[in-house]
Amino acid sequence: MTDHQDVRLRVDKVKKVYSRDGKEFEAVKSLTFDLHQGEFACLVGPSGSGKTTLLKCIAGLMAPTSGAVVLDGRPVNGPARGMAVVFQEYGRSLYPWMTVAANIELPLKIAKLSKAERRARVDEALHSVGLEQARNSYPWQLSGGMQQRVAIARAVATHPSVLLMDEPFAAVDAQTRADLEDLVRSVWKRHNMTILFVTHDIEESVYLGERVLVLSSSPTVIQDDVKIDLPDERGQLGTRSLTRFSELRAHVYGQVQIAKTNKTGMVTSRQAAVL
């Protein structure tokens, strides 16, 4: 894991300060972490921990005040090819004037892929999320969970180096959420993807990730970096009833509690070494 070659995403001392009405507000103090090829990492933190700010900085939608984001060795100074994002607001992220297939195809068209390649990728992506029968529907004809699957398919079809997901399941019901979690795990494996998944849900982060990064509250630093040593094959019932799952959940929960109460952001010994 320390091999330089397989670092997909490097977030290096990213800091974000907003100035509003002449007052400065430090949203993100300093964040540093690497994401390796094939890693599934979850960013979890209390609300107001600058999760969305951080994600926008990584996606190149917002410029950090200082620090750098590096994707595949190239600095990110704006939306970069190779980065895909799944937003929480699926209803607003899909274009309602296009069919499901056209939505998935659009980024591929912009990337100037051949028609045959586009078609193959759309088919493959629809198959991955199990929505072959919805290809000619419009997004608004589908349920919320299906719409989010379309957004995932659109991201997958671009074959991204890194897939960013911003609380993607916060707006769907519990059952749909469980299904979507398993879907993301299967898509991750099938396409050997590298995923950074932002959530406020501790259980979700432990269930999904191979690694959980706990954020402090603002000004944000990384509170803890937890390796999730659960079996590779995960299932809603089996995994969640493991003793190890409970232990990890309790650990992350504890860290989030510390993050909430300790406004200055406690720096763990491990993190101190990085900083």
* Cβ nearer to another protein, comparing 162 with 228: 162
Q: In whole angstroms, what is the distance from residue 111 CA to residue 187 CA?
A: 22
- To another protein, the closest distance from the beta carbon of 54 in angstroms equals 15
Q: Which stretch binds another protein (CB under 8 A): 14-22, 122-130, 137-145, 244-252?
A: 137-145
Question: Taking Cα atoms as reference points, which of 164, 221, 236, 174 lies closest to residue 198?
Answer: 164
Mask: binding to another protein, 188-217, rule CB under 8 A, as x and -?
Answer: ------------------------------
Residue 244 has which token pair? 């190890």
* Cβ nearer to another protein, comparing 98 with 274: 98
How many residues make up the chain in this entry?
275
* Cβ nearer to another protein, comparing 111 with 250: 111
- To another protein, the closest distance from the beta carbon of 140 in angstroms equals 4
Q: Does 111 bind another protein (CB under 8 A)?
A: yes
State which of positions 78-97 bind another protein (CB under 8 A): 78-79, 81, 83-85, 87, 89, 92-97
* Cβ nearer to another protein, comparing 46 with 160: 160
Binding test (CB under 8 A) with another protein, winner from 32, 65, 138, 191: 138
Binding test (CB under 8 A) with another protein, winner from 46, 50, 64, 107: 107
* Cβ nearer to another protein, comparing 93 with 218: 93
Q: In whole angstroms, what is the distance from residue 57 CA to residue 142 CA?
A: 31
* Cβ nearer to another protein, comparing 97 with 116: 97
Binding test (CB under 8 A) with another protein, winner from 30, 128, 148, 158: 158
For residue 101, the one-letter residue type is A
Contact, 213 vs 42, CB < 8 A? yes
Residue 188 has which token pair? 């991750």
By the criterion CB under 8 A, which residues form the site for another protein?
59-61, 78-79, 81, 83-85, 87, 89, 92-98, 106-107, 109-111, 138, 140-141, 154, 158
